[in-house]
Structure 1
Amino acid sequence: MKENDNLLRFIGADAIFLDTTYCNPKFCFSSQEESIDYIVRTIQRVRDEYKGSEEKMLFLIATYVIGKEKILVEIARKCNCLLHVDSRKMQILSILGFSDSGFFTEDLEASDVCVVSWNVLGETWPYFRPNFVNMEEIMKERGYTKAVGFGATGWMYETKKEGYAVRVKDPLEIHLVPYSEHSSYSELKEYVRFLRPKRVIPTVGEDIDKSSSKGTIALRKHFAGLVDEMANKHDFLLPFHQKLESELVNEKVSEEGMKELRNLLPDWVTDNQISSLLQTSRGDTVEAVSDFFERERDFYEEANSCSSDPVTNPQETEPIDLNSFASSQSKVEVSISCPQKLLSQITKLCTPKTPTKGPNKPKKRGSSSQMTKPKKKGKSVAPLQTPIGGKQSTITALFGRFSAASSGQTSSTAGGVLHQNKEDKIDDSETDVDRFLQIISDGMTRESAESLLEKAQGDINLAVEMFYSQKQFLTDKISGKEVSTLNAKVFVPADSDFKNVSLPVEEYEPVMHACWKAGEPAPYLHLARTLNLVEQEKGKIKTTAMFCNMFRSLLALSPEDVLPAVYLCTNKIAPDHENVELNIGGSLVVSALEEALGTSKARIKDLYNTSGDLGDAAQECRQSQSLLAPPRPLSIRGVFHMLRKISSISGSGSAGRRKILVISLLNSCREMEIKYLVRTLVRNLRIGAMMRTILPSLANAVVLNCYSAPEKTINPEALKEQMQVVTSEVTKAYNVLPNLDLLIPSLLSKGNTFSASDLAMIPGTPIPPMLARITNCFTQALKLLQGRAFTCEYKYDGQRAQIHKLEDGSVRIFSRQMKESTSRFPDLVNAIREFCNPAVQTFILDAEVVAIDRKKAKIMSFQELSSRERGSKDASLLLHIIKVDVCIFLFDIMLHDGKRLLDSPLCERRKYLRNLVQEKPGYLQLATEITVEGKEAYANNEHTINKVRSFFEEACNSSCEGIMIKSLDADATYSASNRSDSWLKVKRDYVDGLGDSLDLVPIGAWYGNGRKAGWYSPFLMACYNPEAEEFQSVCRVMSGFSDTFYKEMKEYFSEDKILSKKPPYYQTDESPDFWFVPELVWEIRGADLTISPVHHAAVGLFHPSRGISVRLPRFVRALSDRNPEDCSTAADIASMFKSQNRKMGITLENQEP
């Protein structure tokens, strides 16, 4: 639409006639292409499901006599099949030009897809009533055992259900597909938004013949905010403009007429009399002369009377003389595209003069005896005289108090004007900049206003003209055509250099390219502009460079704002282990937006439905909002501290208090700030950048900042190496101490000499856990650990826990996600205190918490643990209400009495662990393990293989998932946050041949069909690639789910959990009906792995353009203790695929289609 040259000509049109057939929010159905794709996918899916079976499938497509031919053509083309039509329909298609398309046939045996008339499948008005009798007759008549019908019309759209409705009566199905040649509600609004006309004229609906009817008004309300609401204002101002033009034209005529008339009349005739004659005759000189000589005596007596009056200046005798004023303003130019300039000129015309006592009224013939009588009070002297009260507020007070002062008038009248304006003018302390900002009311920054006034040499009128000229230029440039900008609302960034951070690192000047000055708090605008640019960028290198430039300016001008900026960039307000939450829901944000933006919840909802993002919706509302004064700028630290304050509010009425603070933030937003502030409030920035990008960017900025002084020079290669070193150290430090409050200050103080060893491990701050790689057989594990001593441990089916003892004796427990869960396990806290050596002051342990039946000495399933009662953030779980007992199985230690053990081999760490713990079965135990010496660790050693296999079977018989195989001596350090070949997991699923299990993230889904209509099914699953910071699709999964789980996911993935479009950090060739926010992790089991043309997992590792997919995937369970970034990686899947092929004795060529 935006590329259609024919439409571009009508942007800003006076009116558009709109087909309002579906002008109702309930008709926000999908596009024609999506509806067609649904039909095609359904046909293909049903064919695949019944392929090879004895069932014979018949597909019926219901259409009108004329219309919806596009559906038929696309089905034939995409399904690669013919469509059967009867002879009458074939004749119609021939007339329409489809006879030679090769898509249609009259042979019943040639196709299982048949076109039927509209009412064959059922009646559609006032609601759909299926006719299964007709379908069954057709099905049996043509020898089929199952029939699937499709009715495509907008009237079949059902708003009560998500997805497309399906009517089922075995063996018959009818799919109601929303499709129409008429535009849907969302398409109508998008069309109006693009053209932005002055008004919309509905063409379909009740009582629309009259523009003022209720039906027409109701339909027009749907487009409030999308049409040019300034049109009426401009139409109101236009007559003033036209009047001004007329007066300026009359001015020229009057000057010539007065000159000509003076040459024809006696010398004693005054200018006022000449002017009056011309006005009475409407500029006709002949008529004016005739009028004069008819009343010559009257004019003479009047002239004599005036000659004795000391006031001889016409301007002193008339409150307003447009002719006199116009003669001094002959060079005024009027631009209809600049409403503020027009108002300024209207102001000058409407500026009142101080009235003085007028001359005596002209006398009639024979009344000379009354010539000396004073005129009656309140009478006017001439037709142009207009009595104006001296204290009346003028238009100058609204649009340009400075206009009279700058006019240069020196007459007594001008003095009177200035005297009157003294009562209305602003305080003397208010500067020209403040006046200018009040006039434009466009959210312009003070710095930009000062710059513009400087260019205008202090002339505010000229500055206003320059400002609107710039807006007109930008509007024309955007549209690509010479279109009128009178009614266009264009958002102009306050700083033309808002893209500075996207400059190459070597070209960026941290001070010169910043949008604030040293000593000032860094504006939130600096961060928002960077996020806006990053959102549009897909490459990690470019993204890192932009964040680097952003941090360089902060380091140079406002170093104290670096820490808040890092938090805001990573969508955090505190370290993860502090469990600090904003406690702000989407409804509170919408309510705050209503008040801050002066809009309605309905409009916000409409915009949200269109964009799929609340931040984008808020930005759209802000752009159409006019402000009386520019907002007070937000600062980075101000936003951060306000968010921290919001998170601390609790108790009765806390929602209202939080809302007030949110509104105060929203009111101060400029440019695109509101977009990212709202996204921050709903905890989803949607920029695809995470801590793995932000920290390296900051590290690079710190290094560059150290060498920014002119006297410091360094070789580019050495600089690059230095940046890599510091980046590596910062990453290591964060993996050991993921607390930005400690890491960032240390980095800034040390600069390019920073080292991870500068920061010590602190009990109470969790460490990202070490992770294991997957292996599917013992032989593979022995090959990886060949010649190295290793240990095998039970892999318990429980919840990962990290247990800390602090110096004050307190015990804290953290989950795999580094969230504190101490309140959930008060019994474990007691066990730690009771069974750990009290002489050891501090420690950090790695463990698995497992549900246990102590009476039977039996380990329970993970589901039992999940059903255990949960404590709250502020209150611990009471011991007497606990129904599910747990046991702690310890398997590693990272800190012992203040000594860091991460770099020690596992065999040494185990010694510390054994000395620390006194085991108590059922309460606290060390993980069951065996040791294999290095000389026995070979893949061809049958004794070792049998020993490991036997231990594995014991683990499975003990209700464990499998075993962990870990290196004991060589390469046996604790690698926080990393997956390593030093830790390998062998699960029962891998060995039993039941298929590989993966931890995957749902990133999308399709509409459910049949029994699953109204739910999501299937789901699109993805792995994570930490190098590219992207999610790569692996498979669709649609089995293993319960109805309850379907309902839970339908409720969970709604509103802000649904993305409006595919994010750039999702890599797949699939096109689901919905894109989800990556938040959940599910365990998925499949038959085997295969090369896929549509999925992108590990793309490029085994095939240049194809990824790896799971065949016959099935949902196992949800993993609540996993972060999305902790799911199976692309490298894991590549390793499994490689191992599978080696195990099965196949090559990549066997996988090629």
Structure 2
Amino acid sequence: MKFAEIAQFFERMEGTTKRLELTEILVELLKNTPTDVISKVVYLIQGKIRPNFEGVELGIAEKLAIKSISKSAGIPIKKIEDAYRLGGDLGITAANVLKEKTQTTFSTESITLERVYDTLFKIANLEGKRSQDMKIRYISSLLNDATTNEAKFILKILLGTLRLGIAENTLIVALAIAFTGEKDNRELIENAYNVSSDLGHVSEVVATQGIDGIKKFEISVFNPVRPMLADRVKSEEEAVKKFQSEFAAEYKLDGERAQIHKKGNEIVIFSRSLERITQYYPDIVEKIPNVLICDDCILEAEVVAMNENTGDFLPFQELMHRRRKYKIEKAVSDYPITVNFFDVLYYDGNKTIELPYLERRRILTKIVKEDRFAKMIPMSMIKNEGGVLEVLENSINSGCEGLMLKMPQSPYKAGMRGSNWLKLKREYQNELGDSLDLIVVGAFFGKGRRTGRYGTLLLSTYDSENDAFPSICKVGTGFTDESLDQLYQILSPTVTIKKIQGLKVIWKQMYGLNQTSLSRSLRQKLL
């Protein structure tokens, strides 16, 4: 398949924000894609080359991309940097500077999707002293043979700036229509994705085997399951009203959610976003096999940093000291943890996600042999508002964030957010006390329904003593689809690609933050 065809479809997708139109374009693309490369196309649509849990990342910096464009076009780096500074999009910049070159050279045979994908995969796996030079060589080689439109999207994929506005749900609907002819089959395809976390593989199966192949997907060890998520409630009254009968309350810890997979003595750990994080927790790999009474399992836990002397829980940010490439042994020693289990999805050949919560909890207590390192998250059964308040107070006093409230008879709905699980935190109860006037100084692109728009804002306040604007929090909730569209239109023209000399802060709008959850951050700093 020619990459030019893919680039043309990407161009059409970038030209619309209408979901129905995007779905129609996607269906057309999928139907015109050979089945042997369908998974590669689906990965590229998502702006990646492999599923998240494989940890294959391109990680190309702008400077390296600019050097590659310079090498391919024969244009000085400074000229490309100047054009980039004016345009703000390196993909478009590459297309413009390469346009002159293509006008003076003979056309060559079109590059294929397979060549582009395989080259990207090689780039992602390059390591060592000469890896940067090799990356430039690979990228410039692609750009040498690419059309201007192909070059634009190759650069966008490399830099992680491909913004097609395609949410996962839209892609799943398109797969259902393209390969089964029925939109209603989206639920079966979504279920397959929820237990495999690999939409590329799901697309290959539905394209070659149809819906019968999709029905064969099962939960399996070392394939991460998309986590079940909770709705938020603001008060104990709201929680009791939603459940209308006795329910479970677990302490909500301020840690990192971890999905722990065990087969024999082999341990693999995935984060909430399904990234492989095993390397950051060698102590879990070493100790957990000794506290789990099973051969194979998939368990969910909250990993929390702790003060080894007092036993007190430490803030989530302390765990981030472990996110380092080198000297991990020192980080493990300096920031000890406890592993606090709260669910079991699979054990010794038994799929448990369809069992009621209380049954899963009973099984979990038999699997986990508690000690100082591994524990069960405390749980109580509650009938009324007074019970919620009492357990919430105990949770806060224990150094926790609040409560996770769970319907006793609910199964584990992988990849779903709903009212079977509710989260209640102290700050949800309107205890902020006042609104804050804050300045938007940055934004982060969203995922899912927020793909192609800013999903989270970075906010700052004015520090009069130092005449500076330190950032104090991120805000990602409370937005409607309409407000997100408006924010993108207002803020995107103000983006600066590089720090401007002498400029302390760039801002467009000031907003009021009212009664919102704020948590202490040790990381957010500006300038």
TM-score between the two structures when normalised by the length of structure 1: 0.41
**Paired residues, what number?**
499
CA distance in 2, matches of 1:784, 1:1064: 28
Letter in 1 for 2:375: Q
In structure 2, the partner of 1:855 is: 309
Q: Deviations over 1:658-707 (max 9, x none)?
A: 11111111111125111101111111112222433323223321124xxx
Once the two structures are TM-superposed, the CA of residue 754 in structure 1 deviates from its matched residue by: 4.5
Once the two structures are TM-superposed, the CA of residue 865 in structure 1 deviates from its matched residue by: 2.9
In structure 1, the partner of 2:335 is: 884
In structure 1, the partner of 2:17 is: 538
CA distance in 2, matches of 1:622, 1:570: 26
C-alpha spacing 1:842/1:1109, structure 2 compared with 1 (3 Å): farther
Once the two structures are TM-superposed, the CA of residue 859 in structure 1 deviates from its matched residue by: 1.8
Letter in 2 for 1:813: I
C-alpha spacing 1:984/1:906, structure 2 compared with 1 (3 Å): same
CA distance in 1, matches of 2:522, 2:404: 19
- Give yes or no for the alignment of 1:732 onto 2:191: yes
In structure 1, the partner of 2:370 is: 919
**Equivalent residue runs for 1:24-63 within 5 Å:** none
In structure 2, the partner of 1:813 is: 269
Question: Given the alignment, which residue of 750, 758, 768 partners 2:216?
Answer: 758
**Equivalent residue runs for 1:934-973 within 5 Å:** 937=383, 944-969=384-409, 972-973=410-411
Query: Could you tell me the percent identity over the aligned residues?
Result: 26
In structure 1, the partner of 2:251 is: 794
CA distance in 2, matches of 1:880, 1:675: 41
Question: Given the alignment, which residue of 100, 104, 112 partners 1:635?
Answer: 112
CA distance in 1, matches of 2:2, 2:483: 28
Q: Is the contact made by 2:461 and 2:470 (CA closer than 8 Å) also made in structure 1? A: no
In structure 2, the partner of 1:1074 is: 494
Once the two structures are TM-superposed, the CA of residue 814 in structure 1 deviates from its matched residue by: 1.3
CA distance in 2, matches of 1:1023, 1:870: 22
Q: Is the contact made by 1:851 and 1:862 (CA closer than 8 Å) also made in structure 2? A: yes
CA distance in 1, matches of 2:454, 2:204: 35
Q: Is the contact made by 2:445 and 2:451 (CA closer than 8 Å) also made in structure 1? A: no
Structure 1 segments unaligned to the other structure (5+ residues): 1-521, 705-722, 938-943, 998-1015, 1050-1062, 1078-1093, 1096-1107, 1121-1153
CA distance in 1, matches of 2:137, 2:10: 26
Q: Is the contact made by 2:304 and 2:337 (CA closer than 8 Å) also made in structure 1? A: yes
C-alpha spacing 1:849/1:1031, structure 2 compared with 1 (3 Å): same
CA distance in 1, matches of 2:346, 2:467: 43
CA distance in 2, matches of 1:835, 1:871: 27
Q: Deviations over 1:483-512 (max 9, x none)?
A: xxxxxxxxxxxxxxxxxxxxxxxxxxxxxx
**Equivalent residue runs for 1:581-620 within 5 Å:** 581-620=57-96
Letter in 2 for 1:856: T
In structure 1, the partner of 2:123 is: 646
In structure 2, the partner of 1:673 is: 150
Task: Provide the secondary structure at the position in 1 that maps to 2:328.
Answer: coil
Once the two structures are TM-superposed, the CA of residue 985 in structure 1 deviates from its matched residue by: 1.1
Q: Deviations over 1:842-891 (max 9, x none)?
A: 1111111111123322222223333x33453xx78327961121001111
Task: Provide the secondary structure at the position in 1 that maps to 2:322.
Answer: coil
C-alpha spacing 1:992/1:744, structure 2 compared with 1 (3 Å): closer
C-alpha spacing 1:1112/1:804, structure 2 compared with 1 (3 Å): closer
In structure 2, the partner of 1:624 is: 100
Letter in 2 for 1:684: T
CA distance in 1, matches of 2:237, 2:515: 26
Letter in 1 for 2:271: S
CA distance in 2, matches of 1:986, 1:775: 6
CA distance in 1, matches of 2:235, 2:75: 62
Letter in 2 for 1:676: F
CA distance in 2, matches of 1:945, 1:773: 18
CA distance in 1, matches of 2:488, 2:204: 43
**Equivalent residue runs for 1:8-87 within 5 Å:** none
C-alpha spacing 1:597/1:690, structure 2 compared with 1 (3 Å): farther
Letter in 2 for 1:1039: T
In structure 2, the partner of 1:985 is: 423
Letter in 1 for 2:169: R
Q: Deviations over 1:178-223 (max 9, x none)?
A: xxxxxxxxxxxxxxxxxxxxxxxxxxxxxxxxxxxxxxxxxxxxxx
TM-score between the two structures when normalised by the length of structure 2: 0.86
In structure 2, the partner of 1:748 is: 207
Once the two structures are TM-superposed, the CA of residue 613 in structure 1 deviates from its matched residue by: 0.1
Task: Provide the secondary structure at the position in 2 that maps to 1:951.
Answer: helix
Task: Provide the secondary structure at the position in 2 that maps to 1:694.
Answer: helix
- Give yes or no for the alignment of 1:928 onto 2:378: yes
In structure 2, the partner of 1:524 is: 3
Letter in 2 for 1:982: N
In structure 1, the partner of 2:322 is: 869
Q: Deviations over 1:267-287 (max 9, x none)?
A: xxxxxxxxxxxxxxxxxxxxx
Task: Provide the secondary structure at the position in 1 that maps to 2:403.
Answer: strand
C-alpha spacing 1:995/1:917, structure 2 compared with 1 (3 Å): farther
Task: Provide the secondary structure at the position in 2 that maps to 1:609.
Answer: helix
Task: Provide the secondary structure at the position in 1 that maps to 2:306.
Answer: strand
Letter in 2 for 1:904: L
Once the two structures are TM-superposed, the CA of residue 824 in structure 1 deviates from its matched residue by: 1.1
- Give yes or no for the alignment of 1:904 onto 2:355: yes
- Give yes or no for the alignment of 1:564 onto 2:32: no
CA distance in 2, matches of 1:781, 1:900: 29
CA distance in 1, matches of 2:140, 2:251: 54
Q: Deviations over 1:912-961 (max 9, x none)?
A: 1111011013x1100011013xxxx4xxxxxx322221111111111111
Q: Is the contact made by 1:576 and 1:819 (CA closer than 8 Å) also made in structure 2? A: yes
Once the two structures are TM-superposed, the CA of residue 782 in structure 1 deviates from its matched residue by: 0.3
Letter in 1 for 2:328: L
Root-mean-square deviation (CA, aligned residues, Å) is 3.4
Once the two structures are TM-superposed, the CA of residue 1111 in structure 1 deviates from its matched residue by: 2.7
Once the two structures are TM-superposed, the CA of residue 811 in structure 1 deviates from its matched residue by: 0.4
Structure 2 segments unaligned to the other structure (5+ residues): 473-481, 498-508
Q: Is the contact made by 1:1029 and 1:1065 (CA closer than 8 Å) also made in structure 2? A: no
In structure 1, the partner of 2:278 is: 822
Q: Is the contact made by 1:577 and 1:819 (CA closer than 8 Å) also made in structure 2? A: yes
Task: Provide the secondary structure at the position in 2 that maps to 1:959.
Answer: coil
Once the two structures are TM-superposed, the CA of residue 779 in structure 1 deviates from its matched residue by: 0.9
Once the two structures are TM-superposed, the CA of residue 761 in structure 1 deviates from its matched residue by: 1.5
Task: Provide the secondary structure at the position in 2 that maps to 1:805.
Answer: strand
Task: Provide the secondary structure at the position in 2 that maps to 1:672.
Answer: helix
In structure 1, the partner of 2:50 is: 574
In structure 1, the partner of 2:503 is: none
CA distance in 1, matches of 2:307, 2:150: 55
CA distance in 2, matches of 1:1026, 1:650: 31
Question: Given the alignment, which residue of 235, 246, 260 partners 1:803?
Answer: 260
Relative contact order, higher structure (CA 8 A, sep 6+): 2
CA distance in 2, matches of 1:791, 1:728: 28
C-alpha spacing 1:642/1:1023, structure 2 compared with 1 (3 Å): closer
C-alpha spacing 1:1040/1:783, structure 2 compared with 1 (3 Å): farther
CA distance in 2, matches of 1:978, 1:1117: 28
C-alpha spacing 1:686/1:1026, structure 2 compared with 1 (3 Å): closer
Q: Deviations over 1:136-174 (max 9, x none)?
A: xxxxxxxxxxxxxxxxxxxxxxxxxxxxxxxxxxxxxxx
C-alpha spacing 1:1034/1:859, structure 2 compared with 1 (3 Å): closer
CA distance in 1, matches of 2:512, 2:471: 26
In structure 2, the partner of 1:1111 is: 514
Letter in 2 for 1:985: K
C-alpha spacing 1:823/1:781, structure 2 compared with 1 (3 Å): same
Question: Given the alignment, which residue of 290, 297, 320 partners 1:834?
Answer: 290
Q: Is the contact made by 1:896 and 1:912 (CA closer than 8 Å) also made in structure 2? A: no
Q: Deviations over 1:214-268 (max 9, x none)?
A: xxxxxxxxxxxxxxxxxxxxxxxxxxxxxxxxxxxxxxxxxxxxxxxxxxxxxxx
CA distance in 2, matches of 1:662, 1:907: 54
Q: Is the contact made by 1:1039 and 1:1113 (CA closer than 8 Å) also made in structure 2? A: no
Q: Deviations over 1:1008-1055 (max 9, x none)?
A: xxxxxxxx9434779979557565789894339898996799xxxxxx
Letter in 2 for 1:646: I
